[in-house]
């Protein structure tokens, strides 16, 4: 009985579109999309991409297939389908919108800074690709806003990792992470404090020449944190006193 019903159902479904042209089938699918019947629209758009892969509606169907997933907040599937628009139909009118949607998808998938940042890096890549190809886009301001948020999150991730190593007295490992913040996210709010803590780590490692150079540069910055600036001056004073006690000679590991 069940098999018979399925056969009738499948047969009925086939009869609806079997004599339609590719354009008619696309318009049929669009009716479901416009009514927000995304699962049904998704089914039809997917069928069109396979059945009419070389037609003039193939890229349209591919784009709206991605849109169906996007509207259902299935951002992983949506991103995969938008990627297919870009790679399979590079001359399509939907490429620019698909690349913008990729930014949104990966940004939505990006978790808090303490978690794995795989999707955040995908978002960063999508942002950079979009801005490179569409520098004059009307969506540029929105993409740049997302870009700043992404960079801040990644910078914080590295900064907090550095802080963990520093608190564990793993100063060399901490320096590696502080360096990443300074070089990769130099315009983030975490760059300046990373310079201080990098100098602090060298001080704890008794590499006083490096510590002194870094902390002096930090102290000369305009937008530095004043509390950290005071700490920098205290450390510099302590380094100076230690060097005087040694009669101006270099201490262990200095100058490496």
From first to last of the 256 residues of the chain, give the pLDDT tens digit.
334 433 444 444 455 778 889 999 999 999 999 999 999 999 999 999 999 998 999 999 999 999 999 999 999 999 999 999 999 999 999 999 999 999 999 999 999 998 999 999 999 999 999 999 999 999 999 999 999 999 999 999 999 999 999 999 999 999 999 999 999 999 999 999 999 999 999 999 999 999 999 999 999 988 889 999 999 999 999 999 888 777 655 544 444 4
The sign of the torsion formed by the CA atoms of 236, 242, 247, 253 equals negative
Q: Is residue 66 part of a domain?
A: yes
Q: Is residue 241 part of a domain?
A: no
Q: Is residue 190 part of a domain?
A: no
Are the C-beta atoms of residues 156 and 113 closer than 8 Å to each other? yes
* Spatial separation of the C-alpha atoms in residues 214 and 17, rounded to whole Å: 71
Number of domain units in the chain: 1
CATH of the domain at 77: 1.25.40.10
Give CA angle at 149 (143, 150), nearest 5°. 85
Domain that holds residue 44: 22-89
Give CA angle at 46 (16, 63), nearest 5°. 120
**pTM over 0.95, yes/no:** no
Q: Is residue 197 part of a domain?
A: no
Q: Is residue 70 part of a domain?
A: yes
Are the C-beta atoms of residues 154 and 127 closer than 8 Å to each other? no
Q: Is residue 150 part of a domain?
A: no
The Cβ-side half-sphere exposure at 119, using a 13 Å CA radius, reads 17
Tokens of 206: 């008794």
Q: Is residue 153 part of a domain?
A: no
Q: How many CB atoms lie within 10 A of CB 210?
A: 19
Q: Is residue 29 part of a domain?
A: yes
């Amino acid at each position: 009985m069940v098999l018979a019903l399925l056969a009738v159902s499948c047969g009925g479904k086939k009869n609806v579109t079997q004599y339609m042209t590719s354009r008619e089938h696309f318009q049929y699918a669009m009716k479901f999309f416009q009514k927000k019947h995304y699962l049904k629209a998704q089914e039809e758009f997917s069928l069109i991409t396979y059945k009419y892969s070389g037609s003039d509606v193939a890229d349209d169907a591919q784009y709206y297939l991605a849109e169906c997933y996007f509207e259902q907040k299935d951002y992983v599937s949506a991103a995969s389908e938008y990627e297919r628009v870009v790679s399979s139909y590079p001359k399509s009118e939907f490429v620019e919108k698909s690349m913008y949607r990729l930014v949104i998808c990966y940004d939505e998938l990006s978790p808090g800074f303490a978690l794995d940042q795989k999707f955040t890096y995908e978002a960063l890549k999508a942002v950079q690709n979009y801005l490179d190809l569409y520098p004059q886009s009307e969506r540029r301001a929105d993409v740049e806003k997302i870009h700043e948020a992404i960079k801040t999150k990644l910078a914080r991730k590295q900064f907090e990792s550095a802080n963990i190593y520093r608190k564990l007295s793993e100063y060399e490992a901490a320096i590696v992470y502080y360096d990443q913040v300074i070089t990769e996210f130099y315009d983030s709010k975490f760059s300046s404090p990373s310079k201080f803590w990098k100098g602090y780590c060298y001080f704890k490692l008794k590499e006083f020449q490096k510590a002194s150079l870094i902390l002096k540069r930090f102290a000369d910055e305009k937008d530095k944190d004043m509390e950290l600036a005071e700490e920098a001056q205290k450390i510099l004073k302590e380094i100076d006193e230690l060097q005087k006690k040694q009669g101006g000679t270099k201490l262990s590991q200095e100058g490496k």
